[in-house]
Amino acid sequence: MNAPRRRREAVHGWLILDKPYGMTSTQAVGKVRFLFNAEKAGHGGTLDPLASGLLPIALGEATKTVSYAMDGRKIYRFTARWGEERTTDDLEGVVSTTSDKRPSREEIESILPRFTGEIMQAPPAFSAIKVDGERAYDLARAGEAVELAERPILIEALKLVDIPDRDHATFEVTCGKGTYIRSLVRDMGRTLGTAAHVTMLRRVAVGPFTEDHMISLENLVELGHKAPGGDVKTGALLPIETVLDGIPALAIDEEQARRLKLGQAVLLRGANAPIAEDAVLVMSGGKPLGIGTVVQGSLKPKRLFNL
């Protein structure tokens, strides 16, 4: 006779996972959801299986704020391997182009300004972007030639960190949404007159989340073993509103909160009341109520939390 399935719990907040190399983001979310026995879970920005590092995982009502994580700036550390371009632009693919040229430090540093600011970038063929309803990586794996249009991306900073040997160089980049590090390395190699692909990629920041917030799966399991009753939630979760530190906070009273929950607009009064805000974090009684919008001094519900 099969054992009864555990009833999922209403768990709310952010878990900032140090995703291990070789695991998909979907697998990571599944493991965290299992450890927390959570009803709902999602992530705030995919990491490739061959990448490691910061994967923000939203549990419960935090899933309503995922877009704020995905839109936040990211910081990556990565290593480029000169002399080989690969079909996937990383170690997973087969070698497609080779070059004997190895760039010097001076040559590398001279091109960095070209890849800083708002630039145009063509995503890699092996990406999740849809082409006529199909994922680009599915078409590429089937042997079809995939040409993805260039699109604007923002790179706030790009610096050379180390040159461990003549074949490799390590960098750190601060970038916006939609940036592909594999494409960046491919394009840097071509600009330097050589070929290149990514051999190491690690994400260290997403929006307000940094390395200081990260926890490994091993430590998460250990935390569950040590906590009373195996409750892994103790000390591991960040509040839902952590990801919303970039938008203004607005405190309302109990009666205003009641009206907002009913879907009614609330007229804001007082010298400090905002006249217009596209998004505000609405707080009531010291707890997050949801995300609202202010139009002509009137607060309207945008996305309320069911806490």
Of 18, 48, 89, 90, the active-site residue reads 48
With beta carbons less than 8 A apart as the criterion, state whether 185 and 197 touch.
yes
What letters, b where the CB count within 10 A reaches 16 and e where it falls short, cover 190-228? Answer: ebbebbbbbbbbbbbbbbbbeeebbbebeebeebbeeee
Give which of 123, 130, 182 is closest to 153, Cα–Cα: 123
48 carries an active-site annotation: yes
At residue 222, the 3 state secondary structure works out as helix
CA 65 to CA 57: how far, in whole Å? Answer: 11
Rounded to the nearest 5 percent, the helix, strand and coil shares of the chain are 25, 35, 35
Active site residues: 48
